[in-house]
Structure formats: structure tokens, C-alpha cells
Amino acid sequence: MKLTLPPGPFKAYLFDCDGTIADSMPLHYTAWKEILSDWNCTLPEEVFYRWGGMPVVDIIATLNQEQGLSMPVEEIARRKEQFYFNILPQLQAVPEVLEHIHISHGQIPFAVVSGSTRDSVVASLEALHILDRFDTLVCAGDYTRGKPDPEPFLIAAERLGVAPQDCLVFEDTDMGIQSATAAGMASVKILQPWERPKV
């Protein structure tokens, strides 16, 4: 399945990581379920996907607030990331995005713009053997306001020295698309796992 891009030309491609480059959302959800079960905390799958792009610590803080829990945010975040790293050998790429990265690499600069930690993004890209394709990584901790705020994408554009309107964003979540639109950027919606045609 080939990606359909809006009319360009574009001077930079900005990629979300989880669910866009890496088909990692199912693995992340497995990690969340495992870690949260110790606290009798529930995170329904549809909520997990709706919150795609939200930093890990914000997810935990929101769950605490919504479910009247007092999970230690930093500790839970660390344990969740560690569990994810342990199952990373199972990681696959999203085929059509990986193909586009290989075809377009070297023609224009690439950035990854993610709500995940830098360690998590680097580990995912290393597992897929494509870390060297990206000129910069904008991860949780690099910005004050996460998606759907435009700040993460605007930082990436600034680092690459490209005007926002000349960037094309690849995203799998509505929150990410809203962030790109707010930044004045065109975007391509990557299908969620259940939306993809069965081969």
C-alpha cells in the first residue's frame, strides 16, 4: 500500500514515531496493561489510541486524576518504558512508511517528532535499523506543550531550518494531525493497525 501525499513540493518530512514509523502501539499497549495491572488501573484500548502522542508522564497523571489513584508517576513511567524495551525485539515497521523513508532519504531532511521519551524513540529506530536516517529527534522533554499543541512540530522545523508551511507531517493520531495543522503544516494520516487492509 503506497502513501498518498498532498501536492508539494515540501522541504522537510516530519514523522511521528509510534504507530507511524514503528508499528509499536500494540507493544506499548501490552506494556501499559502489564504495569497498570499492579495498581488495578484500567486503560481501555480505544482511550490508549486516542491519547496517542501524549507524553507517558501525562498519561499516568491523567489516569491518577480520573481514577482517584496515586501511582508514582516517574516510577511507573520508568517501569513501563523498561517493559517496552524488553519486548522491542518483536517490533515491526509500518511497511508503507518505511518504504517512503527509504525512497526519500537523502532528498530532503527528516525529523522524528514524538510524545515518547528519547530513549524509547532511539530504541525503536535502532531496532528497525533506521536511526541514521533522521537529522533530528524531538521527544518528550524537548518541548513544554505536547501534541495537540503545535510546539513539537515547530521546534522540529526550526531545527531543520525549514519554514512550517514547507514541512509535511506523517501522523497516525487525530491529536498529532491537530498539532500539525496548528503548526501550519500539511499532513498525511497513517492508518491504525485495525484500519489497514488485511493482506
Contact 14, 111 (CB under 8 A): yes
With H, G, I as helix, E, B as strand and everything else as coil, classify residue 41. coil
Instruction: Classify domain 12-24+92-195 at the CATH class level.
Output: alpha beta
Write out the residue limits of the CATH 3.40.50.1000 domain(s) in the chain: 12-24+92-195
pLDDT of residue 133: 97
Listed residue (162, 117, 167) closest to 139, CA to CA: 117
Q: What is the pLDDT, as a whole number, of residue 198?
A: 62
**Interatomic CA distance for residues 36 and 91, integer angstroms:** 21
- Give, for all 199 residues of the chain, the pLDDT tens digit: 678 899 889 999 999 999 999 999 899 999 999 999 999 999 999 899 888 878 889 999 999 999 999 999 999 999 999 999 999 999 999 999 999 999 999 999 999 999 999 999 999 999 999 999 999 999 999 999 999 999 999 999 999 999 999 999 999 999 999 999 999 999 999 987 667 666 5
What is the fold of 25-89? Answer: DNA polymerase; domain 1 (1.10.150)
Q: Give CA separation, 134 vs 16, 101, 126, 168, in Å.
A: 12, 10, 11, 15
- pLDDT (0 to 100) of residue 49: 87
Q: If DSSP states are collapsed to H, E and C, what string results for 173-192?
A: CHHHHHHHHHCCCEEEECCC
Residue 3: predicted pLDDT: 86
